[in-house]
Amino acid sequence: MPAAAPTPPPAFATRATSTEGSPVREILALTERPGTISFAGGLPAPELFDAEGLRTAYDTALTTTPRRALQYSTTEGAPELREAVAARATARGLPTGPDDVLITSGSQQALTLVTTTLIEPGDVVLVENPTYLAALQCFGLAGARVVPVPCDEEGILPDALDAIVARERPKLLYTVPTFQNPTGRTLPGTRRAAVARTAARLGLWLVEDDPYGDLRYEGAHVPWLAAHPGAEEDRTALLGSFSKIMAPGLRLGWLRAPAALRRHAVVAKQAADLHTSTVDQLAAAHYLGTADLDAHIAKVRTAYRDRRDALLTGLGDALPAGSTWNRPEGGMFVWARLPEGCDATALLSAAISRQVAFVPGSPFFAAHPDPRTLRLSFTTHTPQEIKEGLRRLGTAI
């Protein structure tokens, strides 16, 4: 008698099968061929990493405290790194103590921990439209209902936010107010104040993601949303990262949050990974204590400013007549819109065949995607490479 066919295992969770993979990561895989000039990924320039300074920091961590560096650590993070993060936040106008900070494995984990702590399936999350793609994935995996807030070229429209909060009763608003991914725009201070007032009046968590704030090339500093009245005490989670200013391979980020939220986030982190890499934390703390990070950031800013300007200078020849684009004051991205009738996704394959790439804008929209939009990152390549990439892009389009 033939053996019975084995019974298949149970089905995957709905949250896993209903959440799409990242088109950006898929495009990056296509652009790994030698010679490809990619405007697709938001990757820092590797030649600007302070590899020697970081090597010295790792040597110090492994030489002076090897047993500690290679051992398990506390979930909250190494005290000296929390102190350094708190000091930098305070210097930027947001009084912060070490106990206000949780060290995470990149700011992406900080977003995941906040989402795990706050969001039940079916809860409403408000986002800018368009917004950071991985945030849409994070909220989708949590089972949230994502609702876009109307925006213009400067970001969230506070009057529209007020009406949506009253109607939808959301749990939180997620925003990247400074040099936003994907658009590069920055929310003005007056609008940040209005958002903070709305959150306080109507009862709303604010999640402020700031991976790009140190990369300002022109214009005046705009205080964090978390520093405005109504947002500064008990309702704002501020996410930060060392990826754009030190090295993304460190996978180091941080969460500044009210005590109750932070306590729950610690429990969620314990369930996720126990703690962030001890040796990476100690090396980063040594680096911050001995190297001049601000001088390094100034060097990075100078290089990125030149690359941004090279991209802006050449876009007119590369894109079709009638295209528009913005001029970000910092960050890593330029947001462009092709003329009526064009589809950026349809043009991508032609671009890749000519060894140049960009990211179509449609996947970044929570609703009503604009197929004419595209995101161009300018940080990875030199001005000369950017010029050649734009020549190829113009040929493709």
pLDDT at residue 204, rounded to an integer: 94
What amino acid occupies position 321?
A
Q: Are 205 and 237 in contact (CB under 8 A)?
A: yes
pLDDT at residue 28, rounded to an integer: 65
Alpha-carbon Rg for the chain, nearest whole angstrom, is 22
Closest to 279 in 3D by CA, of 138, 81, 46, 2: 81
Could you tell me the pTM of the whole model?
0.94
Distance CA 329, CA 289 (A): 29
Closest to 265 in 3D by CA, of 29, 66, 103, 65: 103
What amino acid occupies position 333?
F
In this structure, what are the phi and psi dihedrals at residue 146, rounded to the nearest 5 degrees? -90, 125
Give the torsion through C-alpha atoms of 136, 215, 156, 234, to 10 deg: 80
Distance CA 157, CA 232 (A): 21
pLDDT at residue 13, rounded to an integer: 78
Closest to 208 in 3D by CA, of 228, 299, 217, 388: 228
How many Cβ atoms sit within 10 Å of the Cβ of residue 102? Answer: 26
What does DSSP assign to residue 212? S
Q: Distances in Å between the alpha carbon of 54 and those of 180, 211, 279?
A: 28, 20, 12
Which positions ≥6 away from 158 have C-beta within 8 Å? 191, 194, 195, 198
> Both tokens of residue 175?
């925003």
> Both tokens of residue 313?
């200078």
β partners of residue 253: 104, 241
**Per-residue pLDDT tens digits of the chain, which is 397 residues long:** 667 778 778 877 777 777 776 666 666 666 667 889 999 988 999 999 999 999 999 999 999 999 999 999 999 999 999 999 999 999 999 999 999 999 999 999 999 999 999 999 999 999 999 999 999 999 999 999 999 999 999 999 999 998 999 999 999 999 999 999 999 999 999 999 999 999 999 999 999 999 999 999 999 999 999 999 999 778 999 999 999 999 999 999 999 999 999 999 999 999 999 999 999 999 999 999 999 999 999 999 999 999 999 999 999 999 999 999 999 999 999 999 999 999 999 999 899 999 999 999 999 999 999 999 999 999 999 999 999 999 999 999 8
